[in-house]
Amino acid sequence: MSNHIEHAEEIHEIHIHRDDFGSRMGLWLFLLTEILLFGGLFLLYAGYRYIYPDGFIAAATELDVLLGTINTIILLTSSLTVVLAIVALQKSNKKLSMFFLWITVACGLLFLVNKYFEWGAKFHHGIYPKGPALQNMSEGEVLYFGLYYVMTGLHGLHIVVGLAFIGFVMWQIHKDIITSTNFQKLENSGLYWHLVDIIWIFLFPLFYLIH
């Protein structure tokens, strides 16, 4: 009897197979669901922009375009560094790869710090849901800021998740679990990070640039 069980265990070992393509596919499907998650919010944005064009234009002037631009540059840079990290690891340069990932993490954190100051300034002026300043604004402006907080907030949450993902990957690179021949997890974390970046590419013009 024990022979048979051992045999079952043997198959079990074979069964833990590696399928990079499958793993990448799973992540792409997940990214699709993320786009749809934000898609619902973009739909609301479109609907309310159509109903309240004037309020949206008035509210957009309240945002600091410079700060938004800086954050855009920061995120784009981090997308570059995460790609460089993958290439570096593919070329077996673990140290360089880790260096680029540290820069990516630093960029992500810097983005969040900027966001903190941006939100903080708005709160200070009473522009937040049910805040004193927002209550005196028009319906369009209320909705604009409602969506602004929800969409940038959800995006910020995704930055945090992305950073956690990259942190986990860095730990695995450190432990040599992710290597130059087995780097799918690093690539997946990069793909996720690009998604976070792309969503910001849409948020930035919709909230900051269209006046």
66 lies in the site for another protein, by CB under 8 A: no
160 lies in the site for another protein, by CB under 8 A: no
Q: Which one-letter amino acid corresponds to residue 99?
A: F
Question: Which tokens belong to 93?
Answer: 């340069």
For the four alpha carbons of 26, 27, 32 and 37, in that order, the dihedral sign comes to positive
43 lies in the site for another protein, by CB under 8 A: yes
Q: Output 101 or 115, the one with its CB closest to another protein.
A: 115
State the distance between the two ends of the chain, measured CA to CA, in whole angstroms. 76
Binds another protein by CB under 8 A, chosen from 5, 95, 175, 181: 5
44 lies in the site for another protein, by CB under 8 A: yes
DSSP 95-118: HHHHHHHHHHHHHHHHHHHHHHHH
Q: How far is the CB of 29 from another protein (least distance, A)?
A: 5
Q: Output 52 or 204, the one with its CB closest to another protein.
A: 52
Length of the chain: 211
In terms of phi and psi (left: phi > 0; alpha: psi -120 to 50; beta: otherwise), the region of 16 is beta
DSSP state of 93: -
**HSE (CB half, 13 Å, CA atoms) of 75?**
29
108 lies in the site for another protein, by CB under 8 A: no
22 lies in the site for another protein, by CB under 8 A: yes
CA 190 – CA 78 distance, rounded (Å): 10
129 lies in the site for another protein, by CB under 8 A: yes
Residues pairing with 179 in the sheet: 182
Q: Output 18 or 95, the one with its CB closest to another protein.
A: 18
130 lies in the site for another protein, by CB under 8 A: yes
Q: Which stretch binds another protein (CB under 8 A): 48-56, 118-126, 167-175, 197-205?
A: 48-56
CA 102 – CA 149 distance, rounded (Å): 28
168 lies in the site for another protein, by CB under 8 A: no
The contact set with another protein (CB under 8 A) reads 1, 4-5, 7-8, 11-12, 15, 19, 21-23, 25-26, 29-30, 32-34, 36-41, 43-44, 47-48, 51-52, 129-130, 138-140, 142-143, 146-147, 149-150, 154
